[in-house]
Structure formats: C-alpha cells, structure tokens
Chains A and B, each alone.
Chain A
Amino acid sequence: AQTVTQSQPEMSVQEAETVTLSCTYDTSESDYYLFWYKQPPSRQMILVIRQEAYKQQNATENRFSVNFQKAAKSFSLKISDSQLGDAAMYFCAYRSAPGNQFYFGTGTSLTVIP
C-alpha cells in the first residue's frame, strides 16, 4: 500500500514571508498524482495544487508551488507571500493513476503570524 509521510506536525510563518511544507511518499507505481489539500476549521478539504508524476515540470498556482523530486519520492509545498488566510491544516495526498482513493499524510498545522 502507498504511504504518505508529513514529518512537520506544526509550522509557523510571518505574514508576507515564505514557508515550505515537507512530504515524502512510498510507492512502487510509476504513474500517479500528488496533491496538497488545505483544511480550514470548516473541515472541507480544499485543493491547493496538483502534480502529475509523469510531468517533470513543477506545478505552480499563484503563490503556491511544489518541488517534486520523483526519484527521492519527495513533494514539498512552498507558500510565498504568506497571508493570514493561509492558516490551516495542510495535507499531502497520493492517488494512483488510474485510481479512486486518496492516501493522505497526517497533516501540518500552519500558523501565520501577523
């Protein structure tokens, strides 16, 4: 089975600064997707960014970007110009291609300091 590991239970960042959240995963599959989800207190999982394993180029969505290292099975999330609204739990997730279920890490709680 696939496993996803987030080794940082908590992180904090000053407003307007940059923070990087770490994620590693274990799989024997060659084709898959990786995701970062944000979960605010409302509990809804909100997609932040997605990466297809076959793409070498790192995904970017506005202030959010990833560093995808396929050989190292590493998938970190960089948040630039951090805003107060970025404070939330962040989950790294894996999904096979094709596949229907997500495998999630244990999450990183991000605090943004004004």
Chain B
Amino acid sequence: GAGVSQTPSNKVTEKGKYVELRCDPISGHTALYWYRQSLGQGPEFLIYFQGTGAADDSGLPNDRFFAVRPEGSVSTLKIQRTERGDSAVYLCASSLVGGEGYTFGSGTRLTVV
C-alpha cells in the first residue's frame, strides 16, 4: 500500500482480556517495527522484524506481549491478560533494509478499562 496501515484505529478492552493489533507495512519494506507511546511520552521501541523473524525483541516489557510476522508482510502484536497500564498508542513502522524510507503508521489507541 501507499502507507503503513494499522487496524483498528481505536480499541477498548476490559482488563484481563486478550487483544490483537494489526500492522500492514508498505509493500516491499522488509523491516517492521513496533513502538508503544504512553500518554505524554515519546514512542518506545518494542520489537523489530527483518523478514519473518524477530531480529530484536528487547523492548517487549514482559511475556504477555508477543508479535508475529508469519509471511514477512503483515504483523500482529498480541497482548494477553491486558492491564490498565497497557493503555497507550501502539505505533508500527516499516522500512527498507538499513532503515531507508522509515515510515510510521497512525497507530492503534488501546484503552484498557
């Protein structure tokens, strides 16, 4: 596509529920990144994919967070047993190898009530 697409745009869930956030990168971009932006903060790195594999998942806060990219294109960020502290905007970005053309999506605003 022309840009990085993230769905849903907004998601409200109850504490303890499971959620999935989807990212559709720019066609041809092999690198994909997830960031989390809490209220009043800058985005913080979660995970980086090169192709299908997670090349760096050092930013995932705990084992409730997991991400996949099975075919090297669309990625899904999965959060189990959601907590109120998980409320944030989750941003996805994609790029060519080496970081060229690094482009962000508009994010998913997750609210855990």
Which A residues form the contact surface with B (CB < 8 A)?
4, 42-47, 91, 93, 95, 98-107
A97: nearest chain-B partner, CB-CB: B99
A103: nearest chain-B partner, CB-CB: B45
Q: Which chain B residues lie closer than 8 Å to A102 at the CB level?
A: 35, 43, 45
Give the secondary structure class of B's interface.
Answer: strand
Size class of B's contact patch? 20 to 34
Cα A106 to Cα B48 in complex, Å, equals 21
Q: Add 18 more A-B contacts to A100-B48, A101-B45 (CB < 8 A).
A: A42-B106, A43-B89, A43-B91, A44-B105, A44-B106, A45-B104, A46-B104, A98-B98, A99-B99, A100-B33, A100-B55, A101-B33, A101-B48, A102-B35, A102-B43, A102-B45, A103-B45, A105-B42
Q: How far is the CB of B38 from chain A (nearest CB, A)?
A: 10
